[in-house]
A and B are shown apart, each in its own frame.
Chain A
Amino acid sequence: MSAKVDTSLPLEYQTEQDRMNILGFWVFLGAEIVLFATLFGVYGVLYERFAGGPTHKDIFVIKDVMIQTVLLLTSSFTMGIAIFEMRRHNLKGLITWLVITLALGAGFLFMEINEFIHYVHEGATMQTSAFLSSLFVLLGTHGAHVTLGIGWATMVIIQLLKRGLTPTTARKTFIIGLYWHFLDVVWIFIFTFVYLKGLVA
Chain B
Amino acid sequence: MGIKWDEFFITGDPLILGSQIAILLTMIGAVAGITYLKKWKYLWTEWLTTVDHKKIGIMYIISAVLMFFRGGMDGLLMKAQTSRPEMEFLNSQHYNEIFTTHGVIMILFMAMPFLIGLMNVVIPLQIGARDVAFPQLNALSFWLFFSGAMLFNISFVIGGSPDAGWTSYFPLAGKEFSPGIGNNYYAVALQIAGIGTLMTGINFIVTILKMRTKGMTLMKMPMFTWTTFVTSILIVAAFPIFTVALALMTFDRLYGTHFFTVSGGGMDMLWANLFWLWGHPEVYIVALPAFGIFSEVIATFSRKSLFGYKSMVFSILGIALLSMVVWVHHFYTMGSGPAVNSFFSITTMAIAIPTGVKMFNWLFTMRKGRIKITSAMLWALAFVPCFVIGGVTGVMLAMGAADYQYHNTLFLVAHFHYVLIPGVVFAVFAGLYYWWPKMFGFMLNEKLGKWHFWLFVIGFNVTFMPMFFLGLNGAVRRAYTYSAESGFAPLFMLSAIGSIVLAAGFAVFCYNIYWSIRYADRNISSDPWDARTLEWSTASPVQFYNFAKLPEVKSLDPFWHMKKKNEGLTLHDSEIEEIHMPSNSWVPIYMGVIFGIAGFLLVFEWHIAAAVAGIGIFAGLIIRSFDYNEGFHVSKEEIHRIENAWRKTEGEVHNHVS
Residues of chain A at the chain B interface (Cβ within 8 Å): 1, 16, 19-21, 23-24, 27-28, 30-32, 34-35, 38-39, 42, 45-46, 49-51, 126-131, 133-134, 136-137, 151-152, 155-156, 159, 163, 168, 172
- Which of A16, A133, A172 has the most chain B CB within a 10 Å cutoff? A133
Q: Is the CB of B202 within 8 A of A137?
A: no
Chain A residues lying within 8 Å of B149, measured Cβ to Cβ, are: none
Residues of B in contact (CB 8 Å), total 42
| B206, closest chain A residue (CB) | A24
Set A23, A42, A156: member contacting B210, Cβ < 8 A: A23
Set A27, A28, A42, A168: member contacting B270, Cβ < 8 A: A42
Chain A residues lying within 8 Å of B134, measured Cβ to Cβ, are: 20-21, 24
Question: Nearest-CB distance from B185 to chain A (Å)?
Answer: 21
Q: Is the CB of B259 within 8 A of A39?
A: no
Chain A residues lying within 8 Å of B209, measured Cβ to Cβ, are: 23
Confirm or deny: B265 has a beta carbon within 8 angstroms of a beta carbon on chain A: yes
Q: Is the CB of A34 within 8 A of B257?
A: no
Q: Is the CB of A126 within 8 A of B265?
A: no
Confirm or deny: B267 has a beta carbon within 8 angstroms of a beta carbon on chain A: yes
For the complex, what is the distance from the CA of A145 to the CA of B467, rounded to whole Å?
Answer: 48
Set B270, B618, B628: member contacting A45, Cβ < 8 A: B270
Set B205, B211, B265, B625: member contacting A155, Cβ < 8 A: B625
Main secondary structure of the interface of A (DSSP, over half): helix
| B210, closest chain A residue (CB) | A20
| B205, closest chain A residue (CB) | A27
Residues of chain B at the chain A interface (Cβ within 8 Å): 133-134, 198, 201-203, 205-206, 209-211, 236-241, 243-245, 247-248, 251, 255-259, 263-267, 270, 274, 277, 618, 622, 625-626, 628, 630
Q: Is the CB of A51 within 8 A of B274?
A: no
Set B210, B240, B630: member contacting A32, Cβ < 8 A: B240
For the complex, what is the distance from the CA of A16 to the CA of B243, rounded to whole Å?
Answer: 31
Set B237, B264, B626: member contacting A51, Cβ < 8 A: B264
Q: Is the CB of A46 within 8 A of B259?
A: yes
Other contacts beyond A129-B264, A133-B264, A155-B626: 16, CB < 8 A: A20-B206, A24-B133, A24-B202, A28-B202, A34-B237, A38-B244, A45-B270, A46-B266, A46-B267, A49-B265, A50-B265, A51-B258, A126-B251, A127-B264, A130-B258, A137-B251
Chain B residues lying within 8 Å of A45, measured Cβ to Cβ, are: 267, 270
Contact sample, A vs B, 19 pairs, CB 8 Å cutoff: A16-B210, A19-B210, A20-B211, A27-B205, A35-B241, A35-B244, A38-B240, A42-B259, A42-B274, A46-B259, A46-B265, A51-B263, A126-B256, A127-B264, A129-B264, A133-B266, A134-B259, A155-B622, A159-B626
Chain A residues lying within 8 Å of B237, measured Cβ to Cβ, are: 30, 34
Q: Is the CB of A20 within 8 A of B133?
A: yes
Main secondary structure of the interface of B (DSSP, over half): helix
For the complex, what is the distance from the CA of A19 to the CA of B211, rounded to whole Å?
Answer: 11
Chain A residues lying within 8 Å of B266, measured Cβ to Cβ, are: 46, 49, 130, 133
For the complex, what is the distance from the CA of A42 to the CA of B259, rounded to whole Å?
Answer: 8
For the complex, what is the distance from the CA of A168 to the CA of B626, rounded to whole Å?
Answer: 11
Chain B residues lying within 8 Å of A23, measured Cβ to Cβ, are: 206, 209-210
Question: Nearest-CB distance from B645 to chain A (Å)?
Answer: 29
Q: Is the CB of A30 within 8 A of B270?
A: no
Chain A residues lying within 8 Å of B206, measured Cβ to Cβ, are: 20, 23-24, 27
For the complex, what is the distance from the CA of A6 to the CA of B243, rounded to whole Å?
Answer: 41
Q: Is the CB of B255 within 8 A of A126?
A: yes
Chain A residues lying within 8 Å of B259, measured Cβ to Cβ, are: 42, 46, 130, 133-134, 137
For the complex, what is the distance from the CA of A24 to the CA of B618, rounded to whole Å?
Answer: 21
Q: Is the CB of A133 within 8 A of B618?
A: no
Chain B residues lying within 8 Å of A38, measured Cβ to Cβ, are: 240-241, 244-245, 274, 277
Set A21, A49, A127: member contacting B256, Cβ < 8 A: A127
Question: Nearest-CB distance from B243 to chain A (Å)?
Answer: 6
Q: Is the CB of A133 within 8 A of B625?
A: no
The 3 tightest CB contacts between A and B, nearest first, are: A49-B265, A130-B265, A133-B257
Chain A residues lying within 8 Å of B626, measured Cβ to Cβ, are: 155, 159
Chain B residues lying within 8 Å of A163, measured Cβ to Cβ, are: 628
Chain A residues lying within 8 Å of B133, measured Cβ to Cβ, are: 20, 24
Q: Is the CB of B264 within 8 A of A30?
A: no
Chain B residues lying within 8 Å of A128, measured Cβ to Cβ, are: 264
| B264, closest chain A residue (CB) | A51
Q: Is the CB of B625 within 8 A of A42?
A: no
For the complex, what is the distance from the CA of A191 to the CA of B354, rounded to whole Å?
Answer: 42
Chain A residues lying within 8 Å of B239, measured Cβ to Cβ, are: 31
Once A137-B248, A151-B618 are accepted as A-B contacts, the answer to whether A35 and B257 lie under 8 Å apart by CB is no
Question: Nearest-CB distance from A18 to chain B (Å)?
Answer: 11
Q: Is the CB of B265 within 8 A of A42?
A: no
For the complex, what is the distance from the CA of A1 to the CA of B628, rounded to whole Å?
Answer: 12
Chain A residues lying within 8 Å of B245, measured Cβ to Cβ, are: 38
Chain A residues lying within 8 Å of B236, measured Cβ to Cβ, are: 27, 30-31, 34
For the complex, what is the distance from the CA of A21 to the CA of B135, rounded to whole Å?
Answer: 12
